[in-house]
Amino acid sequence: MTPRFLLSGDTAVTVEFGDRIDRAVSEAVLHLDALVRAAEVPGVVETVPTFRSLTVHYDPLSTGPDVLVPRIGELVEGARDATPPAKLWRVPASYASVHAPDLADVARRTKLSTEEVVDLHTGIQFHVYMLGFAPGYPYMGDLPESLVLPRRADPRTRVPAGSVAIAASMTAIYPVESPGGWHLIGATPIRLFDPHSPHPALFDPGDAVCFEPISVREFEAIRTAVAAGTYRVPCESLTR
Q: What is the mean pLDDT of the chain?
A: 94
- What separation, in Å, do the N-terminal and C-terminal C-alpha atoms of the chain show? 20
* 188 Cα distance to chain centroid: 15
Which helix or strand (DSSP H or E) is residue 74 part of?
helix 65-78
Q: What is the pLDDT of residues 165-218, one digit of tens each?
A: 999 999 999 999 999 999 999 999 999 999 988 999 999 999 999 999 999 999
User: Domain map of the chain by residue range?
Assistant: 4-81, 87-237
Closest CA to 82 of 125, 42, 39, 128: 39
Residue 175 to residue 77: CA distance in whole angstroms: 36
Q: Do 4-81 and 87-237 agree at the fold level? A: no
Bridge pairing between strands 87-94 and 208-214: parallel
Q: Which residues pair with 157 in a beta bridge?
A: none
Bridge pairing between strands 87-94 and 235-237: antiparallel
CATH ID of 4-81, from 3.40.190.10, 3.30.1360.40, 3.30.465.10, 3.10.520.10: 3.30.1360.40
Residue 82 to residue 85: CA distance in whole angstroms: 10
Q: Which fold would CATH assign to domain 87-237?
A: Cyclophilin (2.40.100)
Closest CA to 117 of 211, 218, 203: 211
Q: What is the pLDDT of residues 26-80, one digit of tens each?
A: 999 999 999 999 999 999 999 999 999 999 999 999 999 999 999 999 998 865 5
Closest CA to 52 of 3, 122, 120, 102: 3
